[in-house]
């Protein structure tokens, strides 16, 4: 398999250069109403890229995802793991050098990385992979049924210190990380969101949210909370939603902490989070980006730029990257301060990518090629 890697140093790289405040900030609480909208300025500088430094570009000739659903991504401090229907490739964050490529017999539905390994969800298989070599440590069936819905490659993989849970069409299934031994089947319904926290797995099933031990023992359950999606755990808060409603669950107490209503319909948003903020971007409805205070549910800021760019929010060391529309209607990406939405960098070079991941101050954008930029 042939790869071509280009290394370049272009653009500007100062984080201090603020181009304009694009986010709308609010101090209002969660009284069921959206904050009053405030006017924002559009950037007036006619520049292609401010605050981004292009590091490298790598052609991935066998990768040609048709949508963001075909892309599964993860990154650690040194490597970006880029997956499509047919292969999973590890690239060095520093220079784009290919570390290894793993051919896939079935579509990749989910991937995650932690200190112990790289974990994938494919059709009826959950697999632990050595992130340094691409070698499989174990691969186990998730039961008689498929773990991903026919015709889709959507799934979630979550890890605790000793266990990994895969969520797909067969429900939520838990395995021991060291051996691959199946320890529990938590639910049997497709689409149940699962997140890991403090050695447990938190699952939204129908109209309940339950915290499970890895052996399937339920620690607590909250009823009458219909959630169809969830965001990464922020601090000790599990955030999910359904339609125009966001809900926060306090994981320490097992109680519902807050509810926030918004004007936009959120069907299956792209999500990310920090210890205290959750970022939500809908992809099948109005394209309003929200940043929520994880403790209170208050809208910290939002961005109403309408764009069809399937660009997931990516959290780096000092910024969150979100879609942006320029004055000439070109689509691009902006880097904003996580708590205020203040823009610190922008670029229109991101308009053709199907997915993104990053670590530290480096972001990797991905479709039939991978391109890395540094903030």
Give me the average pLDDT of each 10-residue run along the chain (375 residues): 34 30 42 40 42 89 59 93 88 96 85 95 87 94 52 72 87 93 88 90 91 97 91 95 93 96 84 94 74 96 71 89 67 88 85 81 87 92
Q: 322 with 279: CB under 8 angstroms?
A: yes
Q: Could you give all domains of the chain from N- to C-terminal order, each with its CATH number?
A: 105-222 (2.40.128.630)
What pLDDT score does 342 carry?
A: 94
What pLDDT score does 191 carry?
A: 67
Q: 276 with 295: CB under 8 angstroms?
A: yes
What pLDDT score does 330 carry?
A: 58
Q: Scanning the structure block, which residue is given the tokens 């570009």? A: 57
Q: 373 with 366: CB under 8 angstroms?
A: no
What pLDDT score does 288 carry?
A: 83
CA distances from 329 to 129, 307, 326 (A): 42, 9, 5
What pLDDT score does 15 carry?
A: 30
| Per-residue buried b or exposed e for 66-82, using 16+ beta carbons within 10 Å of the residue's own CB | eebbbbbbbbbeebbbb
Closest alpha carbon to 198 in 253, 131, 130: 253
Closest alpha carbon to 340 in 303, 305, 313, 301: 301
What pLDDT score does 291 carry?
A: 95
What pLDDT score does 49 carry?
A: 55
Going by their DSSP bridges, the two strands 98-103 and 108-114 should be labelled as unpaired
Tell me if residue 321 falls in helix, strand or coil: strand
Residue 12 tokens, joined: 């500007």
- How many CA atoms lie less than 13 Å away from 222 in the CB half-sphere? 20
What pLDDT score does 153 carry?
A: 42
What pLDDT score does 157 carry?
A: 93
Residue 259 tokens, joined: 């509810």
DSSP secondary structure of 190-230: TT--EEEETTEEEEEETTEEEEE-TTS-EEEEE-S---SEE
What pLDDT score does 51 carry?
A: 86
Closest alpha carbon to 113 in 76, 86, 61: 76
What pLDDT score does 14 carry?
A: 29
d(CA 47, CA 350): 14
Question: What are residue 336's DSSP bridge partners?
Answer: 320, 343
Q: 272 with 294: CB under 8 angstroms?
A: no
Q: 98 with 89: CB under 8 angstroms?
A: yes
């Amino acid at each position: 398999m042939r790869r071509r890697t280009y290394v370049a140093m272009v653009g500007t790289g100062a984080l201090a250069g603020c181009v304009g405040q694009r986010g709308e900030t609010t101090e209002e609480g969660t009284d069921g109403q959206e904050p009053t909208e405030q006017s924002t300025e559009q950037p007036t500088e006619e520049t292609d890229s401010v605050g981004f430094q292009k590091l490298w570009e790598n052609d991935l000739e066998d990768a040609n995802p048709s949508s963001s659903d075909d892309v599964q991504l993860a990154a650690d401090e040194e490597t970006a793991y880029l997956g499509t229907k047919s292969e999973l490739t590890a690239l060095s964050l520093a220079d784009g050098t290919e570390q290894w490529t793993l051919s896939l017999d079935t579509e990749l539905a989910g991937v995650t990385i932690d200190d112990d390994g790289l974990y994938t969800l494919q059709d009826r298989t959950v697999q632990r992979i050595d992130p340094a070599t691409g070698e499989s440590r174990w691969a186990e069936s998730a039961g008689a049924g498929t773990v991903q819905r026919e015709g889709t490659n959507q799934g979630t993989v979550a890890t605790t210190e000793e266990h990994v849970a895969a969520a797909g069409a067969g429900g939520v299934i838990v395995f021991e990380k060291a051996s691959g031994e199946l320890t529990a089947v938590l639910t049997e319904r497709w689409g149940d969101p699962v997140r890991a926290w403090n050695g447990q797995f938190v699952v939204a099933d129908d109209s309940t949210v339950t915290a499970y031990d890895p052996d399937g023992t339920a620690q607590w359950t909250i009823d009458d909370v219909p959630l169809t999606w969830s965001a990464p755990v922020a601090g000790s808060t599990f955030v999910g939603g359904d339609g125009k409603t966001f809900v926060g669950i306090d994981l320490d107490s097992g109680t519902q902490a807050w509810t926030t209503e918004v004007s936009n319909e959120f069907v299956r948003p792209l999500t990310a989070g920090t210890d205290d903020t959750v970022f939500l971007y809908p992809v099948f409805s109005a394209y309003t980006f929200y940043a929520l205070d994880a403790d209170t549910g208050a809208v910290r800021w939002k961005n109403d730029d309408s764009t069809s760019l399937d660009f997931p929010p990516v959290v780096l060391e000092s910024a969150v990257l979100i879609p942006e529309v320029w004055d000439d209607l070109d689509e691009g990406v902006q880097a904003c301060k996580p708590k205020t939405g203040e823009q610190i960098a922008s670029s229109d070079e991101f308009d053709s990518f199907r997915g993104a991941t990053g670590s530290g101050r480096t972001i990797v954008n991905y479709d039939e090629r991978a391109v890395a930029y540094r903030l």
